[in-house]
Structure 1
Amino acid sequence: MLFGNLRRWKQLGEGDVLFKGISQGNSVTNLKQLRAYHFPLGPRIYRTSLLKKYGGFPVVAYEDGRMYEDVSLLNRLIQKSRFCFRDFTVYNVREHAASITRQNQTKWNAFIHSLDMDEIN
């Protein structure tokens, strides 16, 4: 999987956005580094054959499968394949108060714990 930097924008109002800057990525080579990484890890470019081989994006129990599914997939892939960081910026993130992730920040620790439990089982 290939990933790089993020260009961040903040939604100010109806149609107005503020450029917040570039979030510089860094290399991730193991599960410990992935869990400590400030998500989202992106932009992500997946090798389609690996997605098919490992079952694609999982359906997770958070927000009807619409939250943390990408993190679940990354958690699985880093244990079976390589991640490659390159210093490029092509991905834009728009931050807004109504995002599912922002509304559910308190669930992050429980989610990470559930990943740990999946590894034990």
Structure 2
Amino acid sequence: MAEGAQFTQAGTETRYEVFHTDCPARDVVDHVTSRWGIWVLISLQGNDLRFYELRESIRGISEKMLAQSLRALVQDGLIWRRVEPTTPPQVTYGLTEFGKDVGEPLGELFDRITQRLGSRDEE
């Protein structure tokens, strides 16, 4: 691979070189698989949520980390952000089509893990 190459042509399909440090797809993968990014995507699968609803649904996340995660996922095009001009402003987040595509297998992974763990009573 040539130095600095970020994607290759495979037939008619362009593929990113995700193992290359300058690959833009690598940043998206990092944001999705970050400690909080995956939980944001899973939380938004059912409904669009306001900031405080997201914070309440993801136990243990600070407002700062939620804001950072949301900012990165919005920038990556995985979630959208809508601000209602009220006092105080109401900010709502939801999944884009890209976010739904990425979030679906994450939800399935979560379901598989929780099913295999079994009941807490069995421990």
TM class by smaller structure: under 0.3
Greater relative contact order structure (CA < 8 Å, 6+ sep): 1
Higher radius of gyration, 1 or 2: 2
Q: Whose strand proportion is higher, 1 or 2?
A: 1
TM-score between the two structures when normalised by the length of structure 2: 0.26
TM-score (norm 1): 0.26
Higher helix proportion (structure 1 or 2): 2
